[in-house]
């Protein structure tokens, strides 16, 4: 596979581009990853699926067709046991509108505010998909188990990172260094699981 193989990540979130670029580089997948900022005419892809896998595939397929390039996409979110697995696929718009990380996070905290620590279990789930313009696809999943802190802590990461404490940790994922987070994160696990198939398809 050429070191400069160009792959589009289906996001306009610079934090996600940086995180996925780090994960792929650390795992040895030599691609030039770009996001959708370089494709202003590509419309947003509606996440109409009911699972992370469906949404990741929807985005990857749509972006591969729109750009004519291999496309990576992921759908990920926070699943809180006592909330029946929600916010789940609604994680990015749990507060009622898309992309307000602080409002989403504080709504979850408000919903479980009175619960003891034993009822604050949760997990981060990520589905990662690769789609080629010719229709070939690959899919992988990563999960990180943990629990929810009572107040946000840490300035790294994004989304629900400031309230998520991975099992075996006392720090939130927002208090971990980027390298520490990548090593255990749901997104890191999903994209690393995807890499063998990606290397084969992109060769």
146-198 pLDDT tens trace: 999 999 999 998 899 999 999 999 999 999 999 999 899 999 999 999 999 98
Residues near 168 by beta carbon (within 8 Å), at least 6 away in sequence: none
Read off the pLDDT band of 1 (50, 70, 90): very low
Kindly report the number of other CB atoms within 10 A of residue 71's CB atom: 25
pLDDT at 3 over 60: no
pLDDT of residue 39: 93
Q: What distances in angstroms separate CA 21 from CA 27, 28, 29, 35, one per listed residue?
A: 10, 11, 9, 10
Read off the pLDDT band of 99 (50, 70, 90): confident
CA distance 101 to 90: 12
pLDDT of residue 4: 54
Q: Which of 54-58, 90-94, 126-130, 197-201 has the lowest mean pLDDT?
A: 197-201
pLDDT, tens digit, 9 for 90 and up, residues 13-42: 888 899 899 888 888 888 889 999 989 999
pLDDT, tens digit, 9 for 90 and up, residues 110-135: 999 999 999 999 999 999 999 999 99
pLDDT of residue 185: 94
Q: Please give the tally of structural domains in the chain.
A: 1
pLDDT at 55 over 50: yes
Q: Where are the alpha helices (DSSP H) in 2-42?
A: 14-27
* Mean pLDDT score, 72-100: 94
∠ CA 99-179-87, rounded to 5°: 30
Read off the CATH number of the domain in which 155 is found. Answer: 3.90.950.10
Which residues are part of the catalytic machinery? 75
Q: What is the extent of the structural domain holding 198?
A: 5-202
Displacement of CA 84 from its chain's centroid (Å): 20
């Amino acid at each position: 596979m050429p070191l400069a193989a160009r792959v589009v990540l289906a996001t306009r979130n610079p934090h996600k581009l940086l995180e996925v670029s780090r994960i792929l580089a650390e795992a040895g997948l030599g691609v030039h990853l770009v996001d959708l900022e370089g494709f202003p005419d590509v419309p947003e892809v509606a996440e109409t699926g009911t699972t992370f896998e469906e949404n990741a595939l929807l985005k990857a397929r749509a972006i591969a067709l729109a750009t004519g390039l291999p496309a990576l996409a992921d759908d990920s979110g926070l699943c809180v046991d006592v909330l029946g697995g929600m916010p789940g696929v609604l994680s990015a718009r749990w507060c009622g509108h898309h992309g307000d990380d602080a409002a989403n996070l504080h709504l979850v905290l408000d919903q479980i505010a009175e619960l003891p620590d034993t009822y604050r279990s949760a997990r981060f789930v990520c589905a990662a998909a690769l789609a080629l313009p010719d229709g070939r696809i690959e899919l992988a999943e990563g999960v990180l188990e943990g629990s929810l802190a009572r107040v946000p802590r840490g300035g790294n990461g994004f989304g629900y990172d400031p309230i998520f404490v991975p099992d075996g940790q006392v720090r939130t994922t927002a208090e971990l260094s980027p390298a520490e987070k990548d090593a255990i994160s749901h997104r890191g696990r999903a994209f690393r699981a995807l890499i063998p198939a990606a290397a084969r398809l992109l060769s």
